Amino acid sequence: MSERQVGFQNGVWPKLGNFPMPAKALVTAVILVMSIAMTGALGQIIVHDIIPTFFAGQHVGRHSVSQMGNDPQVQVGNEKDTGSSRGDLFANSPVREKARKMQPFYQTEQFVWTLKWTHIHLFGMNIIFIFMGTIAIFLDLSTGRRTWLVVLPFVGILIDIAAVWMKGYISPVFFWLHIPGGGLFGLAFAIVSIRALWEMWWMRNNLAVT
């Protein structure tokens, strides 16, 4: 791969549009696979969290918070109370409250599960946006815009993780922090994906002054 192919000459930062075909194919494959994964995650949130909370009414039940598949509160009663895998995002869990009184918080099922959920999701989400951030730095945008596209998803991830702990130990109302948290990394993911595909396969003039 020559310097001319990637445009990395005379101090000009290389752009996606000037990448060789194998590199474009790799970037495209990463974006498509990540998009499928993100769509699946969104579908799970809608089916397991949003619908039971806002549309299921009284059918969800008072223990349903223990059934939520992607919330640390879910696993506390997932196999003890009912066979459901859905939950009410705002409900209080009697099982969790009882466990708090009987043993130190760091030994409770909720704390252990939340800790596992946190580190698994931090690793997983960070890996996604390390890939997407790498793609973002080669976009044909100003340095400032590329920097924001790299940083904002990680801010969103931290907000999203904080919401899990805060709604579990302070108040269920902190569920609403998932919206700005998820919104940040979701929006950045969409912008980087669409812009990258456009620059690689449709945009003609790919070299912009940064």
> What confidence score (pLDDT) does residue 9 get?
53
Closest CA to 172 of 90, 74, 69, 96: 90
Closest CA to 136 of 42, 34, 1: 34
Report the first-to-last Cα separation within the chain, whole angstroms.
23
Please give the average per-residue pLDDT across 182-191, as a whole number: 94
Q: State pLDDT tens for residues 21-41.
A: 999 999 999 999 999 988 988
Q: What is the C-alpha separation between 139 and 160, in angstroms, rounded? A: 26
Query: In the structure, what pLDDT confidence band is assigned to residue 89 with cuts at 50, 70 and 90?
Result: low
Q: State pLDDT tens for residues 94-136.
A: 445 554 556 776 777 878 888 888 888 889 899 999 999 999 9
